[in-house]
């Protein structure tokens, strides 16, 4: 990804520094802005290959910046950074033309993976639909299908499925899953993750086939890689 120009718009300076460091370690050329008005001016003056955009900003907010870009026919890929609880803003952002989103708090390596995936896919399929074989998950309508069958998932199972599907083949620890899906208020020794995984498997797996969600003994769980999914 050498030479790819990324604009990071994040008013939390410590977090912005972590994002810059992580992206630069992967050879991205990074510019950081802490203010929505300044970022909007930069985007009008300079070309960027990707935008990591916080929604809550001093000055112009992230959704306003995104709308202005898309109204002006600027198709620069955008990854929104959102607060965990702000589902409506995530949906609005996707409807306005965002390519992906990531909720705080997040791991830098997850953001890097999403940046790389968006850059690979912006010339083709949008990230509003995740697919694994005949399983599809629409992030906007929250519709889940396995083949022709629609699957009605409760919000918690939907969030868990989305989290695992975004990084197929990557092993997530139970603590990581707890942090992302439930927040920080649960004891890592709880069996909530295992129970939720079992419920999710019972709904998305086809009879007679291997589970799409694999347990890694002593570590956690992973979603099977797309090319391995059936």
Instruction: Give the model confidence (pLDDT) of 41-98 as tens digits.
Output: 999 888 888 999 999 999 999 999 999 999 988 889 999 998 765 667 778 888 899 9
User: In sequence order, what are the residues at sequence separation of 6 or more whose Cβ sits closer than 8 angstroms to the Cβ of residue 217?
Assistant: none
Query: pTM to 2 decimals?
Result: 0.55
* Confidence category of residue 126, pLDDT binned at 50, 70, 90: very low
* Confidence category of residue 125, pLDDT binned at 50, 70, 90: very low
Q: Per residue in 6-31, is it b (16+ CB within 10 Å) or e — as a string?
A: bbbbbbeeebbeebbebbeeeebebe
Peptide bond into 105 cis (omega under 30): yes
Instruction: Tell which of 121, 138, 155 closes a domain.
Output: 121
Count structural domains, the chain. Answer: 2
* Confidence category of residue 228, pLDDT binned at 50, 70, 90: very low
Instruction: Tell which of 71, 99, 121 closes a domain.
Output: 121
Which DSSP helix (H) or strand (E) runs through 29? strand 29-33
pLDDT, averaged across the chain: 85
Kindly state whether residues 74 and 147 are assigned to the same domain: no
**Predicted pLDDT at 89:** 79
Residue with tokens 């909720």: 103
Kindly state whether residues 140 and 189 are assigned to the same domain: yes
| Of residues 209, 212, 173, the one with CA closest to residue 189 | 173
Kindly state whether residues 96 and 154 are assigned to the same domain: no
Helix axes 62-71, 87-96, angle to 10 degrees: 20
Kindly state whether residues 11 and 79 are assigned to the same domain: yes
Strand, helix or coil for residue 104 = strand
User: In sequence order, what are the residues at sequence separation of 6 or more whose Cβ sits closer than 8 angstroms to the Cβ of residue 169?
Assistant: 222, 223, 224, 225
CATH assignment of the domain containing 134: 1.10.10.10
Domain range for 152 = 129-228
Instruction: Tell which of 95, 121, 147 closes a domain.
Output: 121
Chain mean position to CA 108: 12
Cα(83)–Cα(86) distance, rounded to whole angstroms? 6
């Amino acid at each position: 990804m050498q030479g790819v120009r990324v604009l990071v718009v994040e008013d939390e300076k410590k977090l912005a520094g972590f994002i810059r460091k992580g992206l630069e370690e992967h050879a991205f050329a990074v510019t950081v802005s802490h203010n929505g008005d300044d970022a909007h001016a930069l985007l009008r003056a300079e070309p960027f290959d990707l935008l990591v955009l916080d929604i809550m900003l001093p000055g112009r907010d992230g959704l306003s910046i995104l709308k202005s870009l898309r109204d002006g026919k600027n198709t620069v890929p955008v990854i929104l950074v959102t607060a965990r609880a702000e589902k409506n803003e995530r949906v609005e952002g996707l409807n306005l033309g965002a390519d992906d989103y990531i909720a705080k708090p997040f791991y830098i390596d997850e953001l890097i993976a999403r940046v790389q995936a968006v850059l690979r896919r912006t010339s083709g399929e949008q990230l509003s639909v995740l697919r694994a074989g005949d399983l599809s998950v629409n992030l906007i309508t929250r519709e889940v299908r396995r083949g022709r069958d629609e699957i009605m998932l409760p919000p918690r199972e939907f969030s868990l499925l989305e989290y695992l599907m975004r990084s197929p083949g990557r092993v997530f620890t139970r603590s990581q899953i707890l942090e992302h899906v439930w927040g920080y208020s649960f004891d890592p020794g709880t069996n909530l993750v295992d129970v939720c995984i079992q419920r999710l498997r019972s709904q998305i797996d086809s009879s007679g086939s291997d589970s799409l969600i694999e347990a890694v003994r002593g570590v956690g769980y992973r979603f099977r890689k797309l090319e391995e999914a059936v």
